[in-house]
Amino acid sequence: MLSGEDLPASLPLARHELIRSRNAAEVREVTSRVLRPHRLTVAGTGDLDASVRSVRLRDLSLSLISHGTDVCVDFGPLQTFFAVLIPLSGTADVTVSGERVRLGGEVAAVLSPTDPVTVYWPSDCTLLIVRLERAALEAQLTGLLEKPLGKPLRFTPSMALDSGYGLTWRRGLDLLVSALDRPDTMVEQPLVARPFERTLMSALLVAHNSNYTPMIRGEAQIAPSRAVSIALEWIEGHPKWRHTTASLAKEADVTERALQRGFRKHLNMRPMEYLREVRLRRIRDELLAAQADAVTVTGLAAEWGFLHTGHFAATYQQRFGEKPSDTLRR
């Protein structure tokens, strides 16, 4: 390692420098620990003079890396994490599954775990790399959608940071970076760090385009007729089961909100209203077929999930125009 000049004071994370070295093997080993094993090739004519600064909270880490000469870094698929690459100086070219992204100005790259990644990293480029653990980010997305993920999350590789949602996300990140630069910060304490992480993760999911963006932003929140049909099949086929909107949405592979809106669009009622309607019809069928001395209204109502006899009787009479006891005596 070298004890030479630090990076410019204007660059962040000065308190968290891990290495300053001209030795490629040392730099690769440290960078592999904070990111992942990779191939580092010196492509420039100058000497390597690399600096790696890094700090990890829990499911999010920040790394500031420069090399002092042109290099090419082949990461392959990131596998276990997502990453946002933000140029703080200079420019760089990132190839993501064959798609090229030019980093510079206010353009960042958002890398997904399944995409092979290669970075051509010029000597004047310093990158701030935000690492977000895959399990945590996908869990955050699952919470936002209120349903399991049907396919891996994948972001669009290029992200603008100078306008719209991207600018808002960048300002939130800058707040975190600024806090980590202070020696007396509370951000590194787990009880404080965790809300910061969750906020940045949720904001990234909302801010940047991915294969889940329409669902996240509510652009596809009306369940298609096929999803509604699946829920109807579960209700009609198993009307005595303890269905909930959540359980029906899970079977139909949509969110609760989408299923509710789908029922409203196609049936003009909520899922639980439809379930109640089915149960009332089944109870009426059984009352009409039963012997008056063989069953009781109270027992039959309880069997179908109506535990409050008075409320059931009022609902039944409103629906069919007669008391359940009158139906039983027919």
d(CA 131, CA 241): 44
Report helix, strand and coil shares of the chain as percent, to nearest 5.
45, 20, 35
Q: Is the pLDDT assigned to residue 65 strictly greater than 70? A: yes
Question: Is 9 domain-assigned?
Answer: no
* pLDDT value, residue 17: 94
Question: Is 3 domain-assigned?
Answer: no
- Residue carrying the six token digits 């500031």: 64
Question: Is 281 domain-assigned?
Answer: yes
Q: Are residues 245 and 96 in the same domain?
A: no
**Structural domain harbouring 84:** 14-216
- The amino acid at 283: I
Average pLDDT over residues 233-238: 95
Average pLDDT over residues 41-54: 92
Q: Are residues 114 and 250 in the same domain?
A: no
d(CA 89, CA 104): 8
Q: Are residues 294 and 196 in the same domain?
A: no
Whether 49 contacts 2, CB under 8 Å: yes
pLDDT band at 110 (very low <50, low <70, confident <90, very high): very high
pTM of the entire predicted model: 0.68
107-111 vs 81-89, strand pairing mode: antiparallel
Question: Is 2 domain-assigned?
Answer: no
Q: Are residues 49 and 163 in the same domain?
A: yes
pLDDT digits (tens, 9 = 90+) for 266-316: 999 999 999 999 999 999 999 988 877 778 899 998 999 998 988 999 999
d(CA 138, CA 269): 32
Q: If we measure between CA atoms, which residue out of 6, 8, 9, 10 comes closest to residue 19?
A: 6
The overall average pLDDT reported for the chain is: 90
Q: Are residues 257 and 183 in the same domain?
A: no
Q: Are residues 197 and 286 in the same domain?
A: no
Q: Are residues 190 and 235 in the same domain?
A: no
pLDDT digits (tens, 9 = 90+) for 145-164: 877 888 899 999 999 999 89
Question: Is 307 domain-assigned?
Answer: yes
Question: Is 98 domain-assigned?
Answer: yes
